[in-house]
Amino acid sequence: MLKTKHRHLVAAAWAIFLGSCVSGPLSAEDYPLVGTWVVDFKKTAESLDNEDQAKGFLNASQGIKLEMVYRPDGSVVFTKYYGDESESFSGKYKIEKRAGDEFVMEVMTPHKGIRFEQIYQAPQDFLDESVLMKGTFREHYPKSESFGLAQGDLVIEVFYENLSDDQKAAIGKQQQGAEAPVAVAGILGKSSIEDDEVYFIEAKGIRWGKFRTDQLKVKLIDENHCQMDALGLGMRFIWQRIK
C-alpha cells in the first residue's frame, strides 16, 4: 500500500464537545472568545509567583506556540506548534457556567469520529482530508510502521511514521488482538495499487483508552487578553487575541 505523497503538518486530532447549563442556551455568537488566540509566554511567566519558575517556564517554551481558534459556528481548534511541526485538537464548544468575566467549559475528548460506512458512502467528503476515527487496536506491522484499527469486522491500516517517539513506543507496547480502545486523527488516503477501494490513514495524533471529561476555566482580563487553561497541559496561561 502506498502512502500519500503530500504530508500535512497540521494534525487532526481528538475533538472537543462542550455542554451548556446556563439559564437559557448560549450560541457561539454569544461567546466573547470568538477569534484567534495565542499564548503570551512572557505575560504567563510574569504571572508566576516564583522568579526561578518564571525563567524555567520561558526556557521550556522556546520554539513552542499554542493557538486556540474559536469560530462563530461553534467550532474550536487548539494547535500546538513545535518548530515546523504541529498537532491539533478540534471540535465544538459551549459555555457551561458563566459569572461576569469568568467562564467554565466542560470538555470531553475525543468527538465521535467517522465510521467506515461514511467513507464508502461518500469518499469525496473525506479523501485527502483530516479525519478522526475511533475503534480498537487489532494487528501491528512494525516493518511498515502501521497497525490495523478495527470497527467490528472492518479494519483500516494506520501509518504512524510521523508520530512522536513516545507515541510510537506506546504502539509497540500494545498486545496483538487485545482490542485496546484507540482514537486516531490524521489524513485519509486511498491506495493506488489495488483495484478495490482500499483506504488508509496517515496518523498525526493518537489517544488510547477511555476518554475523560475535563473543564476549562477562563477569566477575561480585557477585550484581547484572558487567562485560560490549555487542553491536556495542566496549567493556566495568559492568552492574547491576535485576530
| pLDDT per residue as tens digits for the range 56-105 | 888 888 888 988 888 777 667 778 888 777 766 656 677 777 788 888 87
Is the link from the previous residue into 110 a cis peptide, with omega within 30 of 0? yes
What's this model's pTM, rounded to 2 decimal places? 0.51
Domain limits, CATH 2.40.128, in the chain: 28-109+212-241
Phi first, then psi, for residue 135 (nearest 5°) are: -175, -145
Q: How large is the average pLDDT for residues 112-132? A: 82
| pLDDT per residue as tens digits for the range 185-205 | 888 999 877 666 789 999 988
Over 70: is that where the pLDDT of 23 sits?
Answer: no
CB neighbour burial string for 178-212, b if at least 16 within 10 angstroms, e if fewer: eeeebbbbbbbbbeeeeeeeebbbbbbbbbeeeee
CATH class of 116-208: mainly beta
C-alpha cell at 2: 502506498
| pLDDT per residue as tens digits for the range 212-241 | 566 778 898 988 999 988 766 667 899 999
% of the chain at pLDDT higher than 90? 21
**Distances 55 to 47, 60, 88 between C-alpha atoms, Å:** 12, 9, 27
Cα–Cα distance measured from residue 29 to residue 70, given in angstroms and rounded to the nearest whole number: 10
**CB of 94 within 8 A of CB of 104?**
no
Q: Collapse the DSSP code of 12 into the 3-class scheme (helix H, G, I; strand E, B; otherwise coil) and give the result.
A: coil
pLDDT at residue 27 in the model: 45
CATH class of 28-109+212-241: mainly beta
Q: Collapse the DSSP code of 101 into the 3-class scheme (helix H, G, I; strand E, B; otherwise coil) and give the result.
A: coil
Q: Hey, what amino acid is at 37? A: W
Q: How large is the average pLDDT for residues 142-148? A: 94
Q: 149 falls in which pLDDT band (50, 70, 90)? A: very high
pLDDT at residue 41 in the model: 92
Domain limits, CATH 2.40.50.140, in the chain: 116-208
Within a 10 A sphere around the Cβ of 99, how many other Cβ atoms?
8
Q: 9 falls in which pLDDT band (50, 70, 90)? A: very low
Any residues with CB less than 8 A from the CB of 66 and at least 6 apart, and which?
38, 39, 78, 79, 80, 81, 230, 233, 237
pLDDT at residue 112 in the model: 58
Q: How large is the average pLDDT for residues 140-159? A: 93
